[in-house]
């Protein structure tokens, strides 16, 4: 149902509302401020990003819903984020007004790593998926291996759709934007989407130079030094390997 939003701006220090014929410069400043805030919330879609990130309309209050979580802006804009060219189901006006940087209940997230012949490495991705799902509260999260193991990206894509996903987000569990991110994963995602032609998808950036990676690296270093000093047991990664020791 159409509605009209009425905003009354109060002139600082006077308590009086500023009318529709008020200072044009004030209005321009407000618009620029809102545009800057939107950019900070959403970041920028890299080269080739043509599809909308607008989730399907829902009768839900986004501000009070734990199922909507803002996507943080990464520390480095590496561009070249790959998006499908499938048309968005919403109208152009809805897309313009409702563009969103949130993950909703009808979004499926696929976290894809390289894949290994070692079962232990593949099982570690499952542990990360459990952590990710618990921390974010996202409803549809599936693991996938780019090669050498199952489930594949195609398998994960199908599982997301089976659970009701109307958009799929493929997130590479990779550190650097190499050939796998630029070519292999987008090609596999495109192939997987052929069986679900009505489902748009996006391949996000890898971990890269995100500032939180500094904290992760520093935490690993400090814990291993504590283990070398005999203060803590081996971490779950090194457990049973005997590798975390001070060599002469």
144-182 residue pLDDT tens: 999 999 999 999 999 999 999 999 999 999 998 989 999
Long-range contacts of 194-198 (CB under 8 A, 24+ apart): 195/154, 195/157, 195/158, 196/157, 196/158, 196/161, 197/86, 198/86
CA 44 to chain centre: 13
Q: Is residue 95 part of a domain?
A: yes
Please report, for the domain that includes residue 116, its CATH number: 3.40.50.1400
Higher pLDDT, 119 or 78: 119
For strand 167-172 and strand 201-203, is the pairing parallel, antiparallel, or unpaired? parallel
Report the chain's mean pLDDT, rounded to a whole number: 73
173 vs 68, more confident:
173
| The predicted structure's pLDDT at residue 153 | 98
198 and 215 fall within a common domain: no
Residue 22 within any structural domain of the chain? no
Total tally of structural domains belonging to the chain = 2
Overall average pLDDT of the 122-135 stretch: 96
Residues 199, 231, single domain; the answer is: no
Tell me the pLDDT tens digit for each residue of 49-66: 434 333 333 333 333 333
Residue 84 has pLDDT above 60, yes or no: no
Q: Does residue 24 or residue 102 have the better pLDDT?
A: 102
Tell me 65's DSSP state. Answer: -
Q: Does the pLDDT of residue 43 top 80, yes or no? A: no
Instruction: Name the residue range of residue 235's domain.
Output: 211-248
Is 75 found in the same domain as 114? Answer: yes
């Amino acid at each position: 149902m159409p509605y009209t939003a009425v905003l009354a701006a109060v002139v600082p220090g006077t308590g009086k509302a500023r009318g529709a014929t008020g200072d044009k410069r004030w209005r321009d400043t407000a618009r620029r401020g809102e545009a800057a805030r939107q950019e900070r919330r959403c970041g920028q879609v890299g080269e080739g990003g043509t599809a909308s990130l607008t989730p399907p309309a829902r009768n839900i209050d986004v501000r009070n819903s734990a199922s909507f979580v803002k996507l943080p802006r990464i520390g480095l804009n590496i561009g070249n984020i790959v998006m499908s060219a499938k048309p968005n189901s919403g109208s152009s006006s809805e897309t313009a007004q409702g563009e969103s940087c949130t993950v909703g209940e009808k979004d499926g997230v696929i976290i894809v790593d390289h894949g290994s012949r070692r079962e232990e490495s593949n099982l570690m991705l499952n542990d990360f998926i459990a952590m990710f799902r618990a921390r974010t509260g996202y409803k549809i999260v599936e693991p996938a291996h780019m090669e050498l193991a199952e489930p594949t990206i195609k398998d994960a894509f199908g599982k997301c759709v089976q659970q009701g996903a109307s958009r799929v987000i493929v997130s590479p569990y990779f550190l650097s934007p190499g050939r796998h991110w630029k070519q292999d994963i987008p090609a596999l995602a495109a192939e997987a989407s052929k069986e679900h032609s009505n489902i748009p998808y996006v391949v996000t950036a890898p971990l890269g130079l995100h500032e939180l990676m500094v904290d992760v690296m520093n935490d690993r270093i400090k814990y291993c030094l504590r283990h070398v000093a005999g203060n803590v047991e081996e971490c779950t990664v090194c457990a049973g390997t005997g590798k975390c020791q001070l060599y002469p």
